[in-house]
Amino acid sequence: MAKTALITGITGQDGSYLAELLRTKGYSVHGIVRRASTYNTERIDHLFADDAVTQPILHYGDLSDGSGLRRIIEQVQPDEVYNLGAQSHVRVSFDQAEYTADVTGLGVLRLLEAIRDYSQRIGQPMRFYQASSSEIFGAAKPPQSINTPFHPRSPYAVAKMYAFWQTVNHRESYGMYACNGLLFNHESPRRGETFVTRKITRAVGRIKVGLQKQLLLGNLDAKRDWGHAQDYVEAMYLMLQQDAPGDYVIATGEAYSVREFAERAFALVDLDYRDFVQTDPRFFRPAEVDYLLGDPTETNRLLNWHPKIGFDQLVREMVEADLELARQERTLLDANHLVGLKGIGNE
């Protein structure tokens, strides 16, 4: 029997890669999409070009709407639930702290309770994956492992920490198969354009074709352990295929600064980042996470998971994709179609 998976956040970077992966494994894939006034399915539209049988089935829902989530769980009866939905931007969480706590924190409780009640009623267990985050290590000294104490530094990280413990609590209290994946930063050409790596590679493409003159960034010295989203969704899947549930750190074990990322990205198109990058106080955060470096040793052993795509390949793939996108924008502009960068300016 084919398994059924339900993905919240299917329209996001990770959701789109996870949907692709689960399809290749023969799953029937369902996804929760929040209603917006414009289409927000751009990252998964290609999945609807294929055979109707393998297309994901989408349901309107929102992590702030508990009764809607319950209804979807009852309709879909999934074997596995992947909770990837969140207000996921750290900087924005300082502006929308209460909303972030509701969606990124409480949303997990709503989902866990819906699963608990329905599973108990019909006697069918469901496996649950929570998209936890390295952000909850925050100010903790690197390298961070599953044994490192948490020290969150933003409303987002505090909400993710709450969600982490709710997930553990449902496992310990009700025997649910519920896992936390503490994923370090992972990127791709599908990364949202206001996260720093994509902001850089978008600018590289646009500067190269003459659509942008400079790039304003915040803290260039922050260090992150950057992997590729395609590798990381494989780890999510593996977590739900084990004999027992657990919590896992997913990371590459290598960290680079924002400055190093920019340096490499600009160099790939024969430009020097120092000629274009300027710092702007708008992009600094009230509290910064200076240095995230994961220790994935335990996970490598337990899940036999190893990332395949390294830092250089990641930067190259993102720059190549965004150079192509910028060329298309140039063509549109030359044909008198307006193109502009999205975002409101402090992300």
* Cis? peptide before 142, omega within 30° of 0: no
Residue 143 within binding range of ligand NAP, rule CB under 6 A: no
Q: How far apart are CA 78 and CA 7, in angstroms?
A: 10
- For ligand GDD, the binding residues in 224-243 under the rule CB under 6 A are 224
Residue 194 within binding range of ligand GDD, rule CB under 6 A: yes
Angle, alpha carbons 230-231-236 (nearest 5°): 95
Closest distance of CB 108 from ligand GDD, Å: 14
H-helix segments, 102-228: 107-122, 155-174, 196-208
First to last CA, the chain: 45
Q: How far apart are CA 109 and CA 185, in angstroms?
A: 24
Report the chain's C-alpha Rg in angstroms: 20
Q: Is 98 a catalytic residue?
A: no
**CB-nearer residue toward ligand GDD: 113 or 288:** 288
**CB-nearer residue toward ligand NAP: 204 or 251:** 251
285 binds, among ligand GDD, ligand NAP, none (CB under 5 to 8 A by kind): ligand GDD
Catalytic option among 17, 27, 82, 156: 156
Catalytic option among 132, 133, 134, 154: 133
Number of residues that bind ligand NAP (CB under 6 A): 26
314 binds, among ligand GDD, ligand NAP, none (CB under 5 to 8 A by kind): none
Kindly write out the interface string for residues 246-265 of this chain, putting x where it contacts ligand NAP by CB under 6 A and - elsewhere.
--------------------
31 pairs with which residues across the strands? 7, 58
Give the dihedral of Cα atoms 136, 141, 144, 147; nearest 10 deg: -80
Encoded tokens for 339? 């193109």
Residue 154 within binding range of ligand NAP, rule CB under 6 A: no
34 binds, among ligand NAP, ligand GDD, none (CB under 5 to 8 A by kind): ligand NAP
Enumerate residues 6+ apart whose C-beta is below 8 A from 175. Answer: none
- Per CB under 6 A, the list member of 150, 184, 232, 237 interacting with ligand GDD is 184
Q: How far apart are CA 111 and CA 159, in angstroms?
A: 15
Enumerate residues 6+ apart whose C-beta is below 8 A from 328. Answer: none
Encoded tokens for 281? 């106080």
Q: Is 133 a catalytic residue?
A: yes
**CB-nearer residue toward ligand GDD: 11 or 133:** 133
* List of residues contacting ligand GDD (CB under 6 A): 88, 90-91, 133-135, 184-185, 194-196, 199, 217-219, 222, 224, 258, 283, 285, 288-289, 292, 347
Query: Residues in the site for ligand NAP, rule: CB under 6 A?
Result: 8-9, 11-15, 32, 34, 36, 40, 62-64, 84-88, 103, 131, 133, 183, 185-186, 192
Annotated catalytic residues are: 133, 135, 156
